Structure 1
Amino acid sequence: MKRVFIFLAEGFEEIEAITPIDVLRRAQIDVTTVSISDKREVHGAHKIPIVADVVFADADFSGADLLVLPGGLPGSTNLNEHIALKELLVDFSNKGKLIGAICAAPLVLGGLGLLKDKTATCYPGVEGKLTGAKHTGAPLEVDGNIVTAKGIGAAMKFALQLVSMLKSKEEANRLAKEMVVE
């Protein structure tokens, strides 16, 4: 079974976290939510509390197939300040494993140089932090092992793309039909 870790930082964008969690789990993919703080309860940008499955310090990332960074502010800034997460992302990228980031969260990848010469997208106004990327402004971009999405409006497309890459396009289409995605 494929394993996914979705990172939650104080101020994350709720829709950009919950949509991939829900859709990936519907696809029978093992999803673990990870608080980057020392508390499992994390508050989103709109003050919705979410209880993560585990805190970063207690997580075992071995066998992971995908790391996902939801956006939001100050969530993306908080992700970007977490040194161990950034080390994990670099290691993942060096191994060619999948990384997904949506909204402002691609700024973390840009700051690490992981978007150099890659096509990417992000929330308007964050483009300058995608160091070395070819920014398109499209709702969704896939370049090699990196998937980026523009924001809340692209959350479902982002989640279905991740399903497509981890399982199959057919599974993503089945889910889209079942969830009446139009």
Structure 2
Amino acid sequence: MTYVFLAPGFEEIEAVAPIDIMRRAGMEVTSVAVTTDGSEAVEGAHGVPYVADIHIDELAEDVEAEWLVLPGGMPGASNLHECEKLLALLRKTAGGIAAICASPAVVLGAEGLLEGKPATCYPGFEDLCRGAEMTGAPVVTAPGLITAKGPAFATDFGLAIVNAALGEEKADEVARGMLL
């Protein structure tokens, strides 16, 4: 199972495009609301309302995940970083972590989860990526880690997750079906 975490102020395209792409590829994807009121309803950075599949409180502490996906946006990334349960899941996951925009810096960098790894993030947030080898590339894939710069690369980000999870052939198939 792949979980995509949505906190108030998330960048909508960075969540919806990857969710769509992963589901087109046949991946099991669950969107997870990270809200303080227990609601699955989450409003994005541009006022687009979204109803997640579940609330983070419904996830077991030891949930097994293939991928944990963090859309960016502000204050979405900051709101993700304030969630202790999410941080605990990120620290102990045996699966992969994928983050885009501000989330590689504001969430992963702040928690030391990029140490010694190649990464990228939204321009201007690089200094928060403690210990990362910042590449400046639009999308960076390393074992168990995918990072991307921001909204313009949401489709590439989603395809990179599919590639890592299911292989290049499946990612190419999905891309062709999307006329990319």
Same fold by TM-score greater than 0.5: yes
Task: Please name the residue that 1:79 is paired with.
Answer: 80
What is the TM-score with the length of structure 1 in the denominator?
A: 0.94
Distance in 2 between the 1:109 and 1:121 partners? 11
Distance in 2 between the 1:143 and 1:80 partners? 22
User: Superposed, which structure 2 residues align to 1:1-16 within 5 Å?
Assistant: 3-16=1-14
Task: Please name the residue that 1:132 is paired with.
Answer: 131
User: Superposed, which structure 2 residues align to 1:1-182 within 5 Å?
Assistant: 3-37=1-35, 38-60=38-60, 62-92=63-93, 95=94, 97-107=95-105, 108-181=107-180
* Secondary structure of the structure 2 residue equivalent to 1:34: strand
Distance in 2 between the 1:105 and 1:42 partners? 17
Deviations 1:149-172 (A, max 9, x none): 000111111100110111111010
* Secondary structure of the structure 2 residue equivalent to 1:142: strand
Distance in 2 between the 1:99 and 1:63 partners? 12
42-51 vs 110-119, greater mean Cα deviation: 110-119
* Secondary structure of the structure 1 residue equivalent to 2:29: strand
1:62 Cα shift?
2.5
What is the TM-score with the length of structure 2 in the denominator?
A: 0.95
Aligned residue identity for 1:79: L
1:21 Cα shift?
0.5
1:112 Cα shift?
1.1
* Secondary structure of the structure 2 residue equivalent to 1:148: strand
1:59 Cα shift?
2.2
Unaligned runs of 5+ in 1: none
Aligned residue identity for 2:82: E
11-20 vs 106-115, greater mean Cα deviation: 106-115
Deviations 1:29-70 (A, max 9, x none): 110000011111000000000000000001246231000000
